[in-house]
Amino acid sequence: MVAAPLVAQGPAAQRTTLEGVYTLTQANAGRDLFAASCKECHSANVYAGQPLRARWNGRTLGELFGFLRREMPKANPGALSDQEYTLVIAYMLRLNAMPTGSKPLVADSAALHAIRITDTVSVPPLPRRLP
């Protein structure tokens, strides 16, 4: 008997921000970038706690990355490099007590779309028993 390979599809295939998707070094560099490029218009609180959850929980880091590139900094959207936007995202994850990991977050839109923003551990529903 040959076992069929398991292939993850859809949301189950995605990693989450609870899996340590950025490094502490990135978050620290992102904090400095935020202070230099973002703090002039708003505080970090805009991206911490309930404000972040209300807008971004369940969405992907790729969506957040795209938003930041299109809209921020307000005075000059798109002024940062992709790497710099990624560092700012790492800082935002740190602000929200997301765990750090050993591998850095990559500045690649496709890779970022494979990481779902979540602040709770989601447990898949139990399968229904057939009658």
Indicate the residue type of 55.
R
Cα–Cα distances (Å) from 24 to 28, 45, 128, in that order, read 6, 19, 41
Would you state the structure tokens that stand for residue 56, as one six-digit string? 């971004």
Question: What is the biggest distance separating any 2 CA atoms in the chain, rounded to whole angstroms?
Answer: 64
Q: Of 87, 69, 88, which Cα lies nearest the Cα of 78?
A: 69
The whole-angstrom separation of Cα 10 and Cα 13 is: 6
Measured N-to-C along each axis, helices 24-37 and 82-95 cross at an angle, to the nearest 10 degrees, of: 110
> Could you tell me the fold of the domain covering 14-116?
Cytochrome Bc1 Complex; Chain D, domain 2 (1.10.760)
Q: How confident is the model at residue 10 (pLDDT cuts 50, 70, 90)?
A: very low
- Encode pLDDT of 33-70 as tens digits: 998 887 777 767 777 778 888 889 999 999 999 999 99
pTM of full prediction above 0.85: no
